[in-house]
């Protein structure tokens, strides 16, 4: 446990080092980045091995930082953060593997990339709202540069839109936090202190400030109708960055909702519960329908992320231990699966064919030209549909069971959403990889070399990591649930689940 | 009872074969096929082993394996085998090697075909053996994936559309099925079929669901019903079937109709009926009409087809609807003292599943033979006088046709007779309506027989129409022999499920 903060320091050091190494060669920068992320991942796994689940955050470091405001440099972890830390380690390692072909300014690319990862680690470890916010901002800035400089389609627009939405969201969060701190007379920014201060505020203020903080975070989680940055930004981003954005950074928003917004004002949560759940359900279905009509394969994956994050938000909105445990499981699962989907689309397909349009891909016998990419996409697609045997199934199942107990109608609509997700995933698989090849296509078994560069070992390794993770959690979700469930019994979350009624 | 994990082996051996084949890309195609066949045959061998040590008199589950799996969700790894499972595992074991043999060896990328087929076989076996919703649903859904690719990649010109339609329909049904089980789990806290069935039998499940209020208990029932109805398929959810069966390659059509359609009927008998005895009883009348529609309209639709493969596909709708009719007739009459009629109907439904698997599988294979001999033709009018060109083929195909038609002396007769005997005692009017279907079935199968095999040689049979090869005889002859033997001595197979049917019939009192 005590090693966890080193994930932050290590990645920051790695960022500096890869910047230096990048001056020498792109190769050196890559290896530095890979060593850094895998070391950080190893640290999280090592910490997980010795983790004893308990309700509430387990403090690791707690020193005063800005004494006059009561701000502490307070790092702590519980089962929820641990789950997401392990995910961050895994997803960033895989993302580096899928960024192996970055040649231009590789040093700077990986420096920004690792700074982003360090910020994410910091957010998941923060137990002080202001510190949380600082790390949150550290994570946002590099995204802009990663997309604007190394991105593809419409990258300036996508980067700007993403950054603006993120900053608008975080401004709302900051406003809410400062409001509680100032008006409530909180001694500091610890979650408990803020909650205590907020409970003294009038009912209407609590409702308003909850809305500020929750929707501020939910913007980054892609809540309908504030989700439009997500597909545009993810499509514009380079592969490694879109894996990280969809896989991990969207989880920051959901994590903020769960860790900061819910405990802050249980009364506000009780008021907003219904509207949030409806927005989540609408998001699941709407994004699914939009994905069904996309012509760009990467947009299909981008909208599918919004649809799947809808399940996370739904689980959080339902606000029972069961539904929220499903939501956290879904965060992990989606982090892995979205990463895999973006990896296939961006790295394996686009970097080779230079097209992502379904029309163009359809004309090529892709499953014969790139059998490995087709296989990985099919596996990722099956996992993404929520088919049993993969991590999405226990996650969505738990969310559905929890939701059903709260509202049958939400559960029914979410199940319809899962059906739509099957439809658009299958459509994408069919059009992109199993289209009707032109009659002139090479007959099977011919020995001519495929027109595309072969799949590299880095890609195979990255895909194997992610597929292994989704199958492992699909068959043994207990590995994570055993961490998550005790964490949900912390007094702060229990108060939130009860909606302020003791 | 052996300590060996026999049932796990039944499921895992085909999957192990798939994994092995996937890892051996350099193997010669013949060796690949031999290996696939070997692994596929394992099911038959293991099911015979299970049969040999099967306790004849017991009605419950045997060879049970239970291990805790996901304690926080109360999910167990739970496998078990009763007479119905054994019957279907045996059918899968008999049919799968035949399907593999029937697959054309020269097809593109045979290794992938074998891998997918073995995956499909293992998944289907898992459905028949799993007793906990969590991993039962894994098998149920995962069976779709290989089926999708088998249809799509090796199917006819319309295969892409047919495969998509097939999967979306089935997943659509499954989504509601899943939601139904979510509701059951929320109400009871368990996914275990045995526990749920016990709660269904003593009525506590119904009262727990009733707490949902409004129309939700009915909605839960409807969800589970839809999931299975699409899979069977029950009229009017059958529209995916003709194109999927017709576009799939021969071996896969055989498996789809022989084994996968049984998954739906299995779901009706294993889950829908035990879990919702009251709801099913209340909904019996409309469902009887749906089953009758499947029987009558399926048969008439088959009569109107000019494509032989679509004709056999529609005849499948007709034949599996008999199973549903028998079950629902029993459910409708539940509450009366047990009598011979209900056991006849239930036994007939089980036997019909087995028989239909054999005869429809054989028929699809015969159509496949016609297709391969004629360069892809399979219209009713494309052939004539095949009997004189290929007498052995005509003879063996005749077995399948007449078994399907229900000629006494062949196996199809026994099952349908038991169903009619049972339904007649329970709901005579329904048996009378079903007779219309029987009539149409006879008509279109005889048309098939007459147009293709008799008369002067015409169409594709004019040229060099070769008789069966050794491989084709190896597929058809055992199936035809089984049809004859089981038609004359049905006791050879009914002993497997008779105790089970008796115990079902004894518990036919509504809570």
- H or E element, residue A59: strand A58-66
- CB under 8 Å to B72, separation ≥6 — which residues? A478, A481, A482, A485
pLDDT top residue among B189 and B324: B324
Q: What confidence category does residue A89 fall into, taking pLDDT thresholds of 50, 70 and 90? A: very high
Q: Which of A389, A397, A415 sits opposite B142 (nearest CB)?
A: A389
Residue B450 to chain A, least CA–CA distance (Å) = 38
pTM for the model: 0.85
Please report whether residue A445 resides in a domain: no
pLDDT at A279: 93
Residues of chain B neighbouring A394 (CB-CB closer than 8 A): 70, 73
In tens, the pLDDT along A121-170 reads 999 999 888 888 889 888 888 888 888 888 877 788 888 888 888 888 98
In tens, the pLDDT along A296-307 reads 888 899 899 999
Please report whether residue A444 resides in a domain: no
Residue B490 is classified by DSSP as: T
Interface touch B179/A426, C-beta < 8 Å? no
Residues of chain A neighbouring B182 (CB-CB closer than 8 A): 397, 400-401, 404, 411, 415
Please report whether residue A487 resides in a domain: yes
Closest CA to B417 of B362, B361, B486, B363: B486
Closest CA to A479 of A152, A76, A51: A51
Please report whether residue A447 resides in a domain: no
Residues of chain B neighbouring A439 (CB-CB closer than 8 A): none
Closest CA to B257 of B368, B333, B377: B368
Q: What whole-number distance in Å separates Cα of residue A335 and Cα of residue A332?
A: 5
By the CB < 8 Å criterion, does A408 face chain B?
A: yes
pLDDT at A91: 92
Q: Which of A401, A418, A436 sits opposite B185 (nearest CB)?
A: A401
Give the up-direction half-sphere exposure of residue A399: CA atoms within 13 A in the CB hemisphere. Answer: 33
In tens, the pLDDT along A332-349 reads 999 999 999 998 888 888
Q: What whole-number distance in Å separates Cα of residue B449 and Cα of residue A159?
A: 69
Q: What whole-number distance in Å separates Cα of residue A285 and Cα of residue A310?
A: 9
By the CB < 8 Å criterion, does B458 face chain A?
A: no
Closest CA to A263 of A209, A225, A222, A311: A209
Please report whether residue A448 resides in a domain: no
Q: How many helices (H) and strands (E) does chain A have?
A: 24, 2
Closest CA to A150 of A89, A237, A218, A228: A237
Residues of chain B neighbouring A477 (CB-CB closer than 8 A): 70, 73
Query: How many degrees, rounded to 5, is the angle at CA A359 between CA A354 and CA A364?
Result: 65
Kindly state the tokens that stand for B39: 């692994």
Kindly state the tokens that stand for B106: 């020269």
**Among A30-39, A492-501, B203-212, where is mean pLDDT lowest?**
A492-501
Query: What is the full DSSP assignment across B104-160?
Result: -TTSSSHHHHHHHHHHHHHHHHHHHHB-BHHHHHHHHHHTHHHHHHHHHHHS-TTHH
Interface touch B72/A481, C-beta < 8 Å? yes
Q: What is the 3-state secondary structure (H, E, C) of B43-107?
A: HHHHHHHHHHCCCCCCCCCEEEEEEEEEHHHCEEEEEEECHHHHHHHHHHHHHHHHHHHHCCCCC
Q: What confidence category does residue B107 fall into, taking pLDDT thresholds of 50, 70 and 90? A: low
- Provide the chain B residues 187-216 that lie in CB contact (below 8 A) with chain A: 212, 216
Q: What confidence category does residue A101 fall into, taking pLDDT thresholds of 50, 70 and 90? A: confident
Residue A444 to chain B, least CA–CA distance (Å) = 7
Please report whether residue A369 resides in a domain: yes
Average predicted confidence (pLDDT) for chain A:
86
Residue A401 to chain B, least CA–CA distance (Å) = 5
- The number of residues making up chain B comes to 511
By the CB < 8 Å criterion, does B152 face chain A?
A: yes
Please report whether residue A446 resides in a domain: no
Closest CA to A419 of A307, A306, A317: A307
pLDDT at A450: 57
Closest CA to B328 of B372, B273, B276: B273
Residues of chain A neighbouring B71 (CB-CB closer than 8 A): 478
- CB under 8 Å to B49, separation ≥6 — which residues? B6
User: Which residue's structure tokens are 């008439």?
Assistant: B300
Residue B434, exposed/middle/buried by CB under 10 A (0-12, 13-18, 19+)?
A: buried
- Provide the chain A residues 138-157 that lie in CB contact (below 8 A) with chain B: none
Domain holding A331, by residue range, is 5-439+453-497
In tens, the pLDDT along B467-497 reads 888 888 888 999 999 999 988 998 888 888 8
**Torsion of the alpha carbons at B393, B399, B400 and B405, rounded to the nearest 10:** 140
Residues of chain A neighbouring B153 (CB-CB closer than 8 A): 434
By the CB < 8 Å criterion, does B134 face chain A?
A: yes
Interface touch A388/B182, C-beta < 8 Å? no
**Torsion of the alpha carbons at B245, B246, B252 and B258, rounded to the nearest 10:** 40
Q: What is the ipTM of this complex?
A: 0.77
> Once rounded to an integer, what is the mean pLDDT over residues B112-136?
91
Residue B175 to chain A, least CA–CA distance (Å) = 6
- Provide the chain B residues 355-384 that lie in CB contact (below 8 A) with chain A: none
Number of domains in chain A: 1
Closest CA to A243 of A335, A363, A150, A380: A335
Number of Cβ pairs < 8 A linking chain A and chain B: 86
Interface touch A419/B175, C-beta < 8 Å? yes
pLDDT top residue among B337 and A487: A487
pLDDT at B3: 56
- Alpha helix (H) ranges present in A319-407? 321-342, 351-353, 358-362, 366-369, 371-384, 392-406
In tens, the pLDDT along A425-438 reads 888 888 888 876 65
Strands B62-70, A71-77: parallel, antiparallel or unpaired by DSSP?
A: unpaired
Q: Which of A388, A426, A478 sits opposite B141 (nearest CB)?
A: A388
Please report whether residue A502 resides in a domain: no
**Torsion of the alpha carbons at B417, B423, B429 and B435, rounded to the nearest 10:** -20
Residue B307 is classified by DSSP as: B
Residue A302 to chain B, least CA–CA distance (Å) = 22
Distance set, CA A147 to CA A14, A108, A109, A136, A236 (Å)? 20, 13, 10, 18, 6
């Amino acid at each position: 446990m005590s090693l966890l903060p080193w994930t932050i320091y290590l990645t920051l050091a790695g960022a500096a080092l890869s910047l230096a190494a990048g001056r020498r060669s792109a190769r050196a920068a890559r290896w530095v980045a890979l060593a850094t992320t895998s070391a950080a991942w190893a640290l999280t796994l090592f910490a997980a091995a010795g983790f004893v689940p308990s309700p509430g955050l387990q403090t690791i470091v707690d020193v005063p930082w800005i004494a006059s405001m009561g701000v502490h440099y307070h790092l702590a972890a519980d089962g929820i953060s641990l789950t997401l830390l392990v995910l961050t380690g895994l997803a960033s390692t895989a993302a580096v593997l899928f960024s192996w072909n970055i040649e231009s300014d590789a040093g700077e690319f990986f420096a920004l990339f690792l700074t982003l990862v360090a910020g994410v680690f910091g957010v998941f470890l923060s137990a002080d709202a202001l510190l949380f916010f600082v790390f949150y901002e550290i994570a946002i800035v590099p995204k802009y540069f990663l997309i604007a400089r190394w991105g593809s389609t419409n990258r300036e627009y996508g980067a700007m839109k993403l950054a603006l939405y993120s900053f608008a969201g975080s401004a709302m969060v900051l406003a809410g936090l400062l409001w509680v701190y100032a008006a409530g007379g909180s001694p500091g920014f610890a979650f408990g202190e803020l909650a205590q201060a907020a409970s003294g505020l009038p009912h209407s203020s609590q409702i308003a400030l909850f809305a500020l903080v929750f929707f501020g975070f939910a913007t980054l989680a892609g809540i309908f109708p504030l989700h439009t940055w997500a597909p545009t930004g993810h499509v514009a981003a380079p592969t490694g960055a879109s894996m990280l954005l969809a896989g991990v950074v969207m989880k920051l928003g959901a994590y903020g909702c769960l860790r900061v917004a819910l405990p802050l004002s249980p009364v506000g949560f009780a008021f907003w519960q219904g509207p949030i759940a409806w927005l989540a359900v609408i998001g699941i279905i709407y994004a699914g329908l939009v994905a069904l009509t996309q012509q760009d394969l990467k947009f299909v994956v981008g909208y599918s992320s919004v649809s799947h994050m809808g399940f996370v938000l739904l689980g959080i909105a339902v606000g029972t231990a069961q539904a929220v445990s499903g939501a956290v499981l879904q965060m992990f699962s989606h982090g892995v699966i979205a990463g895999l989907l973006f990896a296939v689309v961006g790295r394996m397909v686009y970097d080779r064919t230079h097209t992502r349009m379904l029309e163009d891909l359809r004309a090529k016998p892709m499953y014969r030209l790139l059998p490995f990419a087709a296989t990985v996409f099919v596996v990722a697609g099956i996992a993404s549909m929520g088919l049993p045997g993969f991590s999405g199934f226990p996650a969505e199942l738990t969310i559905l069971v929890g939701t059903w107990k709260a509202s049958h109608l939400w559960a029914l609509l979410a199940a319809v959403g899962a059906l739509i997700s099957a439809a658009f995933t299958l459509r994408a698989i069919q059009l992109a990889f199993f289209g009707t090849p032109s009659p002139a296509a090479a007959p099977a078994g011919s020995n001519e070399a495929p027109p595309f560069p072969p799949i590299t070992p880095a890609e195979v390794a990255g895909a194997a990591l992610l597929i292994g993770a989704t199958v492992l959690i699909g068959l043994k979700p207990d590995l994570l649930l055993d961490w998550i469930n005790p964490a949900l019994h912390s007094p702060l979350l229990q108060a939130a689940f009860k909606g302020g009624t003791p | 009872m052996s300590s060996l994990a026999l049932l796990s082996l039944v499921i895992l051996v085909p999957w192990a074969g798939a994994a092995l084949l996937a890892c051996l890309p350099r193997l010669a195609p013949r060796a690949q096929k031999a290996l696939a066949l070997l692994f596929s045959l394992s099911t038959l061998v293991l099911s015979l082993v299970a049969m040999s040590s099967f306790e004849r008199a017991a009605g419950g589950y045997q060879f049970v394996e239970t291990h805790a799996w996901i304690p926080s969700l109360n999910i167990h790894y739970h496998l078990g085998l009763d007479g119905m499972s054994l019957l279907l595992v045996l059918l899968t074991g008999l049919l799968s090697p035949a399907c593999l043999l029937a697959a054309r060896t020269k097809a593109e990328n045979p290794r992938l075909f074998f891998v997918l087929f073995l995956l499909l076989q293992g998944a289907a076996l898992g459905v028949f053996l799993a007793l906990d919703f969590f991993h039962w649903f894994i098998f149920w859904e995962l069976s779709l994936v290989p089926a999708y690719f088998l249809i799509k990649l090796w199917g006819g010109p319309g295969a892409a559309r047919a495969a998509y339609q097939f999967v979306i329909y089935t997943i659509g049904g499954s989504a509601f099925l899943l939601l139904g089980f979510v509701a059951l789990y929320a109400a009871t806290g368990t996914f275990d079929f045995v526990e749920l069935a016990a709660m269904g039998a003593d009525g506590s499940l119904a009262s727990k669901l009733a707490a949902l209020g409004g129309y939700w208990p009915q909605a839960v029932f409807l969800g589970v019903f839809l999931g299975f109805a699409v899979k069977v398929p029950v009229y009017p959810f059958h529209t995916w079937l003709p194109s999927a069966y017709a576009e799939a390659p021969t071996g896969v059509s055989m498996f789809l109709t022989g084994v996968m359609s049984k998954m739906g009927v299995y779901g009706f008998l294993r889950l829908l009926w035990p879990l919702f005895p009251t709801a099913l009883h209340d909904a019996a009348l409309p469902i009887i009409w749906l089953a009758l529609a499947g029987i009558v309209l399926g048969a008439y639709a088959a009569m109107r087809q000019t494509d032989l493969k679509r004709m056999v596909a529609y005849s499948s709708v007709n034949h599996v609807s008999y199973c549903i009719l028998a079950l629902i007739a029993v459910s409708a009459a539940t509450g009366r003292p047990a009598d011979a009629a209900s056991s006849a109907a239930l036994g007939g439904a089980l036997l019909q599943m087995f028989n239909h698997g054999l005869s429809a599988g054989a028929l699809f294979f015969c159509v496949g033979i016609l297709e391969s001999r004629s360069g892809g033709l399979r219209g009713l009018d494309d052939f004539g006088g095949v009997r004189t060109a290929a007498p052995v083929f005509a003879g063996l195909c005749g077995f399948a046709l007449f078994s399907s038609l229900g000629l006494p002396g062949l196996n199809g007769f026994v099952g349908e007779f038991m169903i009619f005997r049972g339904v007649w005692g329970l709901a005579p009017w329904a048996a009378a309506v079903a007779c219309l279907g029987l009539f149409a079935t006879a008509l279109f199968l005889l048309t098939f027989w007459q147009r293709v095999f008799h008369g002067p040689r015409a169409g594709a049979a004019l040229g060099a129409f070769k008789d069966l090869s050794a491989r084709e005889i190896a597929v058809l002859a055992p199936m035809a022999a089984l049809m004859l033997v089981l038609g004359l001595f049905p006791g050879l197979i009914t002993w497997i499920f008779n105790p089970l049917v008796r115990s079902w019939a004894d518990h036919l009192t509504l809570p």
